Chains A and B, each alone.
Chain A
Amino acid sequence: MQLQYCLILAAALFCIGIYGLITSRNAVRVLMSIELLLNAVNLNLMGFSNYLDPSNIRGQVFAIFVITIAAAEAAVGLAIVLAIYRNRETTDMEQFNLLKW
């Protein structure tokens, strides 16, 4: 019964990420929360590949892809944050509510 614990840990990490994603006021911390989500997913992938697919370990291949994509995404995300910061001189998410009704 190792897989369940692994999955529960990943789910907990995902939920923590979601919480951080929704509540953080700092845009960089939002990106950090997204990293948490992605890492929770990676944990899942690793767990599944270990316990369900030990021979082909396709999950691990997936995880590598996810890590690379996450790196690129974080880079682009930080670029966006920087671009916003140049204009608005803040990274507070609550200041970015310009596109409302």
Chain B
Amino acid sequence: MLESLSQIIWLVPCYALLGAMLAVPWSPGLTRQTGPRPAGYISILMTFIALVHSLLVLSYIWQHPAIDLSFPWLQAADLKIDLDLKISTVNIAALVLITGLNLAAQIYAVGYLERDWGWARFFSLMALFEAGLCTLVLCNSLFFSYVVLEILTLGTYLLIGYWFNQSLVVTGARDAFLTKRVGDLVLLMGVVALLPLAGSWNYDDLAQWAATTDLNSTAATLLCLALIAGPLGKCAQFPLHLWLDEAMEGPIPATILRNTLVVSTGAWVLVKVQPILALSPVALTVMVVVGSLTAIGASLIAIAQIDIKRFLSYVVSAYMGLVFIAVGTGQGEIALQLILTYTFAMAILVMCVGGIILNNVTQDLTQYGGLWSRRPISGLSYLVGIVSLIALPPFGTFWAWLKLTENLAVKSPLLVGVLLLVNLLTAFNVTRGFCLIFFGEVKPMTRRSPEGLWALVLPMVITVGFALHMSLILKQANLLPNFADINWNLSLVLIMSSLIGIGSSAFVYLNPTIAKPVRLPFSPVQNFFAYDLYTDKFYKITIVAIIDSISRLINWFDKTVVDGVINLIGIATIFSGQSLKYNVSGQTQFYVLSIVLGLTLIGALLSYSLLGQAF
């Protein structure tokens, strides 16, 4: 039975799609009487079915080799595009992670969107995301990965634009769509260029091809850079990172999904094409540099944020930067492990912050304080989020950090420094959030702050449970290092960096003698990071300005020159008609003159040769 279930694993995305379609009839325009709640319940049911299916298949595939499925999609002339599915432990585990987290986010949304009418739209889109993510991890073909990435880009646009009567939501959704789209389009160039080179889009075939090919190094570099560009936009890496900041205008339950999984879609593709990326040392260097810059830059930006959602969104960019570093140094497995453990930590943090926003309205960190005594569950969950996010044993993410640093210590000690710095900064940042929200004086906005309803707390606490058991889960998957093999020096340095981050942050923000809000002695630096390196201005004066002026120029050219030439022909015809009609003078004698002149002319032409003979 389990085997047949694994043969029909492709049903998992279909459940979600079915849920997406079934939720639609409860749109306010269609169901006018009974309210939108059944849409959410149906979607949750479908997600639950998908989760159970994935779990059953996971238990089967755990002891069995991977299964390859292939469905023909298109066959035209020499081109044959198959939808290849791969059912392996990693893929199904990712499936479980996606459906599980989506279940949590949807239950959370039941509580969070209590006073909202747009459930049909919201849950449809969440289900669409689930379907897309499931298809992405199942499909074993770069082409279909690209297809799904594009569908998810559209989904992001719609989901961020959920409350579209707010102007910042509209601009945020626009930026998210365009920024991710640019990356996707460059990725498309890579995907298209790959087919004539490799002859297949199947990831296994691509890996085989990459192992044996002797591709021209320039071609390899360009190809790999194109393949990186897609994930670069998806993972909100420098310089395509602004969209994630603006995407925080969307509803929190969607943010749970986006901050954890949607940004990881790029990383997933990146891990999958890693064998190809290995062809070009330049591309690998670019990845590592981009990842490092993003990780450090985003961590610094995060520390300077006062928006409770945005200080987490930059952590997302930073961690995706770490994934870039991991893939850039050829450690795809560790990248996946990092995504797994990071996902839980970030989900906890976002859920916790969302619950706090719901009851305190404000998102301004400086308006918070003193919630610890009244929000213990949120506080404890946040603490678990912190410790599972940074490198602190025995919690989950530490092991990924450790493996990463161990491997990097051999190759490039500089990157170890980057990792330590990022860890320290992230620890400082999330602890800062913790201290500002839960400690300090009670502020007017936080005077009355009850714990959230069960629907908000339950998914958070369950996720906390998973995060706390992450090390055991990793042990089951044989992902923990042997106790004897652990590099104690590196572990110690990592733990030290975490502790310094936490400690210094706690010292600054729990110390009443330091004035709040904290001002750096040199305020331009603080503003520089608080305004996100002025990225929006940078976009505006570079790419947006160029495209805008070129568009205006082309519009002008089209309206004057191109239209003008055609209009000129018409005008010339009208003018000639209007002026030539005066030949019809009404004078009979003038007509006779024309006839005589015409006849004379014809006669002269006919007798031209004779005239030549005469003289």
Contacts and interface: CB of A to CB of B under 8 A. Distances in A.
Interface of A: 18, 21-24, 30, 93-94, 96-101
A100 B584 contact: yes
Interface of B: 581-582, 584-589, 592-593, 596
A101 B584 contact: yes
B589 A30 contact: yes
A22 B592 CA distance: 7
A11 B587 CA distance: 25
B596 A100 contact: no
B589 A93 contact: yes
A75 B338 CA distance: 116
A98 B589 contact: no
B586 A100 contact: yes
Contacts of A101: 581-582, 584-586
A30 B587 CA distance: 13
Contacts of B596: 18, 22
Contacts of B587: 93-94, 96-97, 100
B16 to A, nearest CB: 75
Contacts of A24: 589
A100 B592 contact: no
Query: Which 3 residue pairs of A and B lie closest in terms of their CB atoms, listed nearest first?
Result: A100-B586, A97-B586, A101-B581
A97 to B, nearest CB: 3
28 contacts: A18-B596, A21-B589, A22-B589, A22-B592, A22-B593, A22-B596, A23-B589, A24-B589, A30-B589, A93-B587, A93-B588, A93-B589, A94-B587, A96-B586, A96-B587, A96-B588, A97-B586, A97-B587, A98-B586, A99-B586, A100-B585, A100-B586, A100-B587, A101-B581, A101-B582, A101-B584, A101-B585, A101-B586
A99 B587 CA distance: 8
Contacts of B593: 22
B255 to A, nearest CB: 76
A79 B455 CA distance: 111
A94 B587 CA distance: 7
Contacts of A22: 589, 592-593, 596
A24 B588 CA distance: 11
Nearest to B580: A101
A97 B585 contact: yes
A26 to B, nearest CB: 11
Contacts of A99: 586
Contacts of A23: 589
Nearest to B590: A22
A99 B586 CA distance: 5
A7 to B, nearest CB: 14
Given A93-B589, A96-B588, A97-B587, 8 more contacts: A22-B589, A22-B592, A23-B589, A93-B588, A96-B587, A97-B586, A100-B586, A101-B584
Contacts of B588: 93, 96
B94 to A, nearest CB: 83
Contacts of A30: 589
Contacts of B589: 21-24, 30, 93
A12 B76 CA distance: 84
Contacts of B586: 96-101
A23 B592 CA distance: 10
A100 B593 CA distance: 16
A94 B586 CA distance: 9
Nearest to B582: A101
Contacts of A94: 587
A83 B593 CA distance: 24
A101 B583 CA distance: 8
Contacts of B582: 101
Interface centre among B584, B586, B589 (most CB of A within 10 A): B589
A94 B588 CA distance: 9
A30 B592 CA distance: 11
A23 B588 CA distance: 11
B577 to A, nearest CB: 10
Contacts of A97: 585-587
B601 to A, nearest CB: 15
B592 A21 contact: yes
Contacts of B592: 21-22
A47 B588 CA distance: 32
A41 to B, nearest CB: 14
A93 B587 CA distance: 7
Contacts of B584: 100-101
A22 B596 CA distance: 10
Counting chain B CB atoms within 10 Å of each CB, the highest count among A22, A23, A30, A96 belongs to A22
A21 B592 CA distance: 8
A98 B584 CA distance: 11
B399 to A, nearest CB: 96
